[in-house]
Amino acid sequence: MTRFIAFFSLLALTASLSFAVGAGNVTSLEARALIAKNSKIVLLDVRTPEEYRQAHLRGSLLIPLGDLGRRIQEVPRDRPVLVYCAVGARSVSAAGFLASRGYREVYNMSDGLVGWYKNGLPLQRGSAP
């Protein structure tokens, strides 16, 4: 029982900290609604250039996760940011990083581009920018 309470407390603390700094999780369907509602949203792809060439969201900005620290100035601070990767693992790290650096409206697409594809939503194919 003590382990359960400790685990639950740690889980609650982690969740509250991630939302306290301004990053929130959305599904690909919720992300599509955000994009439709706000044309100024920045779509930030944190995958590799190879992954980007295979498929990406139209109009997205490619900054691989490993480059985000040194290229953060390329992400506008005055617009909402939707971060995505393949399945949501890298993007959750990137979203938390942006929120910790003062970005106020940051969303992590928790099911990633795989979820986007599985929901039959449109993808762009082609070379990295």
Q: What is the pLDDT of residue 123?
A: 97
The reply to whether 28 belongs to the active site is: no
Distance CA(75)–CA(95), nearest Å, equals 12
Catalytic residue among 85, 95, 99, 109: 85
CB 15 within 8 A of CB 30: no
Query: Is residue 82 within a helix (H) or strand (E), and if so which, with residue range?
Result: strand 81-84
pLDDT tens figures, 66-85: 999 999 999 999 999 999 99
Predicted confidence band of residue 2 (pLDDT cuts 50, 70, 90) = low
Q: Is the pLDDT of residue 121 over 70?
A: yes
Domains of the chain as residue ranges with CATH: 22-118 (3.40.250.10)
The SS3 of residue 63 is coil
3-state secondary structure string, 16-46? HHHHHCCEEEECHHHHHHHHHHCCCCEEEEC
Claim: this prediction has a pTM higher than 0.85: no
